[in-house]
Structure 1
Amino acid sequence: MQVKIFGVRGCLFGIANMILVKRLRERLYSTLLLQDISFFDSETVGGLTSRLGSDCQQVSRVIGNDLNLILRNVLQGSGALIYLLILSLPLGLCVLAICISLSTMMLIYGQYQKKSAKLIQEFTASANDVAQETLSLMRTVRVYGTEKQELGRYKQWLDKLAGISLRQSAAYGFWNFGFNTLYHSTQVIAVLIGGMSILSGHITAEQLTKFILYSEWLIYSTWWVGDNLSSLMQSIGASEKVFNLIDLSASDQFTVKGLKLQKLMGRIEFDDVSFHYPSRKEVPVLQHFNLKVPPGEVVAIVGLSGSGKSTVVNLLLRLYEPTNGEILIDGYPMKELNVRWLRERIGYVGQEPRLFRMDISSNIKYGCPRDISQQDVEWAAKQAFAHDFISSLPNGYQTLVDDDLLSGGQKQRIAIARAILRDPSILILDEATSALDAESEHNVKGVLRAVQSDLQARRTVIVIAHRLSTIQTADRIIVMDGGKIVEMGNHTELLRKDGLYARLIRRQADAVA
């Protein structure tokens, strides 16, 4: 009967454990997805995946094993203690004093386990970071022959983990030694005091035998509680970071509803905007930046690396908030607009083409706010000059995207098709031709020309490019340096000025020659 009860209890705790871990991972993942981009600038991918994986699983031990066994042994130990006190109050009090001493040792050991568990999880996350970085850059590691160097970086964290594990083993040895000492002390005290009580006639030999058996049961119950409690403290220490992450508040962008305009015209205005990244507050990126872009204009932003071009895009996508000044969209401050509604009307192609491990059709449809047919997908691919190479793949649009399957230029054209499919009011191309060959770049310039000539679907286009040949037909070219606008005009006007833009054009011409 007892075995059946324990079996049912174990089954129920197992179900509770499964539900807990599922909800914990769901809650943590949803919290992470709603954090500001600046949060991910300071956290590593390996560390966050470690929290979602091993740390959440560590918490499962609390319900699935530790609490289960602690509850069982507390009930058994309490029953044994009550029976001992009934048999002999003096002997029962002596055993209780030993159990209290054992519990004190147990709490000290549990606190140590909690601290060491936090260190183990931190070191494990750091080791995961190194492994993830090395494996994702394996081609670079192989070309430069740095396998031993990367092994050394990984081994450094493994050595720290080993050091913590050794100290844990030593602490467990002291805890075990203390338990055995107190356990044998209980037997000695029971025999000595019990023998004296038999001689004085207070108890019988049968009662003493029962007392010794129940005192062993109580001591072992206390030991199991201590062992499971130390494991519980270890789980709590490992899960503290998980609960700290879960307690993070969602970004204001997702908690504030904001305005939804009847139609987005695409008028953009940067009004005295200054900005520095939260992780580098001492380095200003934009300083008193002012720019007005009327609806339907194609504006190109050029400049040296680090001049703030991509930062303008990050602010326009509201990945970051300006340090000073404000950005207006159709005359409304951007922070007052509904961020989801705004992003649905912005098409964005980044300088590093990022595709998900799903079929090409799903990648093109990704994030599109309206119902999309296969014909729409193919239309967008044709506009991005991607249809021909997609059709030549073994499974066409149903081909699963793989890093080794597609070139950088092909990925970039798929990303351009994804942006075009949204039919955005504002189209942002951030170095969108960086991975394209000459022919594909010529095709993308055709896309820009089509955008300019299509009067019915005129959209505001922001183009950032190092290849200045792609933006010569832009309505206006903004030249940036040191976070400020230093020149402005069309291609011909800027060449006449013979300033920074003209020097960049000559440098690229010399490089090609």
Structure 2
Amino acid sequence: MLLLRRMLTRLHTPHIALLRAPLFTRKFFFIFSAAKHIAVNYLFPMAVSLGNVRPCVLTSFHHKPTPRVCRSNLRFSKNNRLRLLLTKFSPSSKRCCHFHPLKSSSINGFSVQNDSLEHFDGEVNVDFNEKIRRWIRFIQSILPGGSWWSFDDDVEVKIMAKPVTLWRALGKMWDLVSKDRWIIFAAFSALIIAALSEIFIPHFLTASIFTAQSSEIAVFHRNVRLLILLCVTSGICSGLRGCCFGIANMILVKRMRETLYSALLLQDISFFDSETVGDLTSRLGSDCQQVSRVIGNDLNLILRNVLQGTGALIYLIVLSWPLGLCTLMICSALAGLMLIYGLYQKKAAKLVQEITASANEVAQETFSLMRTVRVYGTEKQEVKRYKHWLGKLADINLRQSAAYGFWNLCFNMLYHSTQVIAVLIGGMFIMRGNITAEQLTKFILYSEWLIYSTWWVGDNLSSLMQSVGASEKVFQLMDLMPSDQFMSKGKKLQRLMGRIDFVDVSFRYSSREMVPVLQHVNISVNPGEVVAIAGLSGSGKSTLVNLLLRLYEPTNGQILIDGFPIKEVDIKWLRGRIGFVGQEPKLFRMDISSNISYGCTQDIKQQDIEWAAKQAYAHDFIMSLPSGYETLVDDDLLSGGQKQRIAIARAILRDPTILILDEATSALDAESEHNIKVATLSNGLLVKSLHFLSLYVLICYYI
């Protein structure tokens, strides 16, 4: 170290020109400068980005910090070879730093002008030993078991899914495909026949070679015929196995999505208040698709290689038990690494799916609010939000790739160790006369088969555990119990008169239980009355409607329908007799006729649809469209008033006993609103929720 300091000190003195220095000194100077450039521009930024090394300045050695200036330019030739061109020595400088400018920083003492670097090293004094310690910590962090491999500090998502064991996940998958178990049985039968056929191929292949060498023609022809039979049988059964497992895999993914979708639709509305649309669609899409490899690829190859590896191990022990035990020990070490690698990949897969769901949530939110994004010009901010999650995803994928590379490294080392041990010990046995050359050849072939079978089991087992880790949230959602509204069947009244009573009703949303929305509300509405509920925004008008529709359950109190508690009335039957138009009506991506008749259980004719549209004063604008009632619309292709008219027509078509309009005419002009009111007065009970800014309390009055 002292010699290196002296050489660097002499190198940086202005009294010795670089070109007049000895050849060894010049070579060392350029090699050291190039290594320093690579460390500063590539290795050191990577270490800083990983958070294991603090930003510092790599400077040469000096005795005391005196203000000196040093400038250098860096250029690259066409073949990317580094050229260090010394441009100027400051007369007062006793050294010069040769590395590319990083950033302009008053903390580090850097100032960038064009491609030149001015370094006021008097402001910075970094201890050489400290830099060495930082690099040692960085190298330790990237070694197996280091902090770089940990997922605990880098991820900003909270994993809510409960851990699912491998056997429990496989049991759930079996429940989904058990109705078509004949496909699974056919696949397993083909797998067993193909695996057994392939196990004997190395035996007869080696026997054919050595019988040909010994001129045993009859034995040679017999071995060749058996070899051809085994190859044909293996090919046919392998094709059948792949086809059956592929069909079973398709059935699994299809039924998993059906089960998950059904489970989600049967949840309470409060569930959708806490879950985002982007997250749920990601579970239906990418998470279920992640399971598509389980049966068709992972289980298929795992079972095949387990059978083949077991057969190869038995053959090796029968052939030569000492060599067989050596190979078994290597396979045991490989299996231990396989287990660690599989658990690591399972945890990584869970994080990948959570981060993917968060990225999909950002994209879905941006696309749904595209007009707002465009008006406020926040495209770059949304791209930055999306890139943030993609960066997290890339970081996890980088560690997965590094772990996969380390796994392959261990496999290749153990694989070649098996070959060396087999040749070494087998050669000694041949010289002693314990085994023949034919037996050693068979042993080498079967030992390679056993090692490769172990590797395939490990590789596909890690893929299987990734799929299980990615599907944990899917299984958790599938296990959710349906809402009580769908579990219990209430009574169906002979005739709904339409009397509504709110008796001491209080309510709080589960997402904000500390904030009361309604407190001790008492309202009575008689059949045939038209009631308007007015109040400021956020006073609870829409909440009253949601409670009447039983989208939420009251925290305290109860709601009576014709004197019966609403919980005892069949909810599907009750909703079929209520017409509802919300504040912001939503349309499905279908034609206008289908949107108006949406939810009607009885047979609806086109004349009925047109009658409802005329009652809602929507017929004229519908007929002005190119395709009339067959025009394809969605939530963004019509104006607010047009959507409200279609939603009102949808409610009128149901011929409801109770008609609820929650600010349903806010986007209509005064004349259209008056005409719709007149048309709807004949539809039984009309409950209206309106805003009156001059009122500061909840007012219920009869019109």
TM-score of the two chains, using structure 1 as the length reference: 0.89
- Residue 22 of structure 1, aligned match among 249, 254, 266: 254
Residue aligned with 1:385, SS: coil
Deviation at 1:181, TM superposition (A): 1.5
Conserved 8 A contact 1:266-1:330: yes
In the TM superposition, 1:352-501 aligns within 5 A as 352-448=584-680, 451=681, 454=682, 459-466=684-691, 481=697, 485=698, 487-490=699-702
1:196 aligns with 2:433: no
Change (3 A) 1:333 1:404: closer
The aligned residue for residue 332 of structure 1 is 564
Q: Tell me how far apart the structure 1 counterparts of residues 245 and 366 of structure 2 sit (CA, whole Å).
A: 39
1:36 aligns with 2:251: no
| Count, aligned residues | 471
Q: Tell me how far apart the structure 2 counterparts of residues 145 and 17 of structure 1 sit (CA, whole Å).
A: 45
With CA pairs under 8 Å and 6+ residues apart, which has the higher RCO, 1 or 2? 1
The aligned residue for residue 314 of structure 2 is 82
Residue aligned with 1:279, SS: helix
1:302 aligns with 2:527: no
What amino acid maps onto 1:116 in structure 2? A
The aligned residue for residue 150 of structure 1 is 382
Q: Which has the larger radius of gyration?
A: 2
Residue aligned with 2:691, SS: coil
Greater CA drift, 318-327 or 402-411: 402-411
Aligned sequence identity (%): 77
1:59 aligns with 2:284: no
Deviation at 1:404, TM superposition (A): 4.9
Deviation at 1:100, TM superposition (A): 1.2
In the TM superposition, 1:95-114 aligns within 5 A as 95-114=327-346
- Residue 348 of structure 1, aligned match among 570, 575, 580: 580
What amino acid maps onto 2:347 in structure 1? K
Residue aligned with 1:139, SS: helix
What amino acid maps onto 1:82 in structure 2? I
Deviations 1:56-104, CA, capped at 9 Å, x for gaps: 1111100111111112211211111111111101111111111111111
- Residue 293 of structure 1, aligned match among 521, 525, 528: 525
Conserved 8 A contact 2:613-2:646: yes
Q: Tell me how far apart the structure 1 counterparts of residues 605 and 632 of structure 2 sit (CA, whole Å).
A: 19
What amino acid maps onto 2:369 in structure 1? L
Q: Tell me how far apart the structure 2 counterparts of residues 25 and 462 of structure 1 sit (CA, whole Å).
A: 39
Conserved 8 A contact 1:348-1:427: yes
Q: Tell me how far apart the structure 2 counterparts of residues 285 and 405 of structure 1 sit (CA, whole Å).
A: 34
1:133 aligns with 2:358: no
Q: Tell me how far apart the structure 2 counterparts of residues 297 and 109 of structure 1 sit (CA, whole Å).
A: 70
Q: Tell me how far apart the structure 2 counterparts of residues 404 and 259 of structure 1 sit (CA, whole Å).
A: 40
Which is helix-richer, 1 or 2?
A: 1
Conserved 8 A contact 1:383-1:417: yes
Gaps of 5+ in 2: 1-231
What amino acid maps onto 2:671 in structure 1? E
- Residue 478 of structure 2, aligned match among 246, 265, 269: 246
Deviation at 1:53, TM superposition (A): 1.0
Deviations 1:5-33, CA, capped at 9 Å, x for gaps: 11110011111111111111111111111
Gaps of 5+ in 1: 470-478, 492-513
Conserved 8 A contact 1:433-1:465: no
Q: Which runs of 4+ in 1 moved over 4 A?
A: none
Conserved 8 A contact 2:536-2:693: no
- Residue 217 of structure 1, aligned match among 446, 449, 452: 449
Q: Tell me how far apart the structure 2 counterparts of residues 58 and 117 of structure 1 sit (CA, whole Å).
A: 10
Change (3 A) 1:489 1:21: closer
Change (3 A) 1:416 1:176: same
Deviation at 1:444, TM superposition (A): 2.5
Greater CA drift, 189-198 or 288-297: 189-198
Deviation at 1:490, TM superposition (A): 5.0
The aligned residue for residue 324 of structure 2 is 92
Q: Tell me how far apart the structure 2 counterparts of residues 232 and 434 of structure 1 sit (CA, whole Å).
A: 54
TM-score of the two chains, using structure 2 as the length reference: 0.66
The aligned residue for residue 502 of structure 2 is 270
Q: Tell me how far apart the structure 2 counterparts of residues 160 and 463 of structure 1 sit (CA, whole Å).
A: 49
Deviation at 1:158, TM superposition (A): 0.3
Deviation at 1:468, TM superposition (A): 8.2
In the TM superposition, 1:159-174 aligns within 5 A as 159-174=391-406
Q: Tell me how far apart the structure 2 counterparts of residues 417 and 330 of structure 1 sit (CA, whole Å).
A: 27
What amino acid maps onto 2:499 in structure 1? R
- Residue 319 of structure 1, aligned match among 533, 551, 565: 551
Deviation at 1:198, TM superposition (A): 2.1
Conserved 8 A contact 2:535-2:693: no
Change (3 A) 1:489 1:25: closer
Q: Tell me how far apart the structure 2 counterparts of residues 385 and 43 of structure 1 sit (CA, whole Å).
A: 37
Aligned-residue Cα RMSD (Å) equals: 1.5
Change (3 A) 1:480 1:373: farther
What amino acid maps onto 1:141 in structure 2? V
Conserved 8 A contact 1:302-1:480: no
Change (3 A) 1:489 1:29: closer
Conserved 8 A contact 2:534-2:692: no
Deviations 1:422-458, CA, capped at 9 Å, x for gaps: 111111111101222333223333334xx1xx4xx5x
Conserved 8 A contact 2:536-2:692: no
The aligned residue for residue 71 of structure 1 is 303
